[in-house]
Chain A
Amino acid sequence: MSGTCIIGLGSPHGDDRIGWEFVHLLENEVIADDALRLLTCATLGGDLLECWKHADLAIIIDAVRGAGAPGTVRRISLRPRHDPSVPETVRALSSHGIDLPELIDLAEALGALPRRLLLFGVEVNACTPFGSLSAPVRAALPGLTKAVQAEIAAARKHDKVI
Chain B
Amino acid sequence: MSKTELRINVPVLARVEGEGALELEVADGRIAALRLRIFEPPRLFEKFLEGRSYAEVPDMTARICGICPVAYQMSAVHAIESIFGVESGPWVRDMRRLFYCGEWIESHALHIHLLALPDFLGFANAPAMARVHPGEVRRGLHLQALGNDIIRFLGARSVHPVGACVGGFTHAPSIAEAALLRNKLYAALPEAEALVLWIAGLDMPAVDQQFASVSLRHPQEYPFNEGRLVSDAGLDIAIDEFDAHFTEHQEPHSTALHCTLHGQPYMVGPLARLNLNYDRLPPAVRAPLEATAITLPSRNPFHQILARAVEIHYALWEAVRLLDAYREPSAPRVPVTPRAGVGYGCTEAPRGILWHRYELKDDGSVATARIVPPTSQNQARIEQDLRLSIEALGLDRPDDELRQRCETVIRNYDPCISCATHFLDLRIERR
Contacts and interface: CB of A to CB of B under 8 A. Distances in A.
Given A92-B13, A97-B110, A97-B114, A110 B137 contact: yes
B109 interface: yes
A136 interface: no
A94 B14 contact: yes
A contacts with B: majority SS? loop
Contact of A130 (B60, B66, B143): B60
Contacts of B418: 97
Nearest to B157: A40
Interface size class of B (residues with CB under 8 A): 35 or more
Given A42-B66, A46-B142, A96 B419 contact: yes
B359 to A, nearest CB: 22
Given A94-B14, A96-B17, A45 B127 contact: no
A162 B134 CA distance: 31
B160 interface: yes
B134 A47 contact: no
A106 B130 contact: yes
B114 A98 contact: yes
A50 interface: yes
Given A41-B158, A97-B419, A130-B63, A46 B109 contact: yes
B27 interface: no
A149 B240 CA distance: 56
Given A40-B157, A43-B159, A45-B114, A129 B63 contact: yes
B63 A98 contact: no
Contact of A106 (B109, B137, B159, B419): B137
A109 B134 CA distance: 7
Contacts of B121: none
A47 B143 CA distance: 10
A49 interface: yes
A41 B144 contact: no
Given A109-B131, A129-B48, A46 B141 contact: yes
Contacts of B138: 110
Interface in A129-143: 129-130
Given A98-B419, A106-B130, A110-B130, A92 B14 contact: yes
B148 interface: yes
A97 B109 CA distance: 11
A33 B15 CA distance: 32
Contact of A12 (B110, B142, B160): B160
A42 B134 contact: no
B67 interface: yes
Contact of A47 (B66, B131, B137, B158): B158
A96 B66 contact: yes
Contacts of B66: 11, 42-43, 95-96
A96 B63 contact: no
B65 to A, nearest CB: 8
Given A46-B148, A106-B127, A11 B158 contact: no
18 contacts: A11-B15, A11-B66, A41-B158, A43-B67, A43-B159, A45-B114, A46-B140, A47-B148, A47-B158, A50-B141, A94-B419, A96-B15, A96-B66, A96-B67, A97-B67, A97-B111, A97-B115, A98-B110
Interface of A: 11-13, 16, 40-43, 45-47, 49-50, 65, 92-98, 102, 105-106, 108-111, 129-130
Interface of B: 13-17, 48, 60, 63, 65-67, 106, 109-111, 114-115, 125-128, 130-131, 134, 137-138, 140-145, 148, 157-160, 416, 418-419
